[in-house]
Each structure stands twice: as structure tokens, then as C-alpha cells.
Amino acid sequence: MQFRPLHDRVVVRRLEEGEKTKGGIIIPETAKEKPQEGEVVAVGPGARDEKGQVQPLEVKAGDRILFGKWSGTEVKIDGEDLLIMKESDILGILEGTSSAKQAA
């Protein structure tokens, strides 16, 4: 099934946090918080301004983002847990994270 969000909505896949802390302590499943980092899966065409023109979104599919703890609505699409949120719920785009993690 294909899913296309409408207006200024974005579909996000949460990125899972590690099971251990940097000190090597294993975190049990019940103590984990839901991650506030995700990957954009799909974006809508954009919101309309007062003149009726579509304003495109700044995020695009594949972007890694940060969002608020209570942002979005959880949905299950094709058996995968995803979030649908407005672009205004996104706090920022993480740039250059893949090369930074490889260097560490």
C-alpha cells in the first residue's frame, strides 16, 4: 500500500535508540523513552497561504529530523509503526549525522 500525506503533513519513522549507554549499562525495554529522532518517509505537497498558493515543505523524504516528545499521531501502515505530524511539529533537520557517527 502507498500512503501519501496531505497538505503540510509528514510521515516519520522513529529511529531506535541503542540498548546500552556509553558506559555499557544495558537499558531494559520498560525504562526506554520513545526516541525523538526520526527519518522522513513521505511528505505532503505543502500548505496553502492566504493567496491560495501552495508553499512547499522544507523537509523531504530521507531527512533525519528531531521532533517534540508528544508530536504527531501514531499509526500502523503495512505493519510498521509510523508517526504523522505537521511540519510545524518538526524542531529541526539533522545534517551530516551519518559521517559524524562513522568518525566516532
> Is position 102 within any domain?
no
Number of domains in the chain: 1
Structural domain range at position 80:
9-18+32-93
Q: What's the CATH number where 68 sits? A: 2.30.33.40
Grid cell in block for residue 101: 557517527
Q: How far apart are CA 25 and CA 4, in angstroms?
A: 40
Per-residue pLDDT tens for 40-84? 999 999 988 888 898 999 999 999 999 988 888 999 988 889 999
CA separation for the pair 54, 25 (Å, rounded): 49
DSSP three-state, residue 87: helix
For the whole model, what pTM was predicted? 0.72
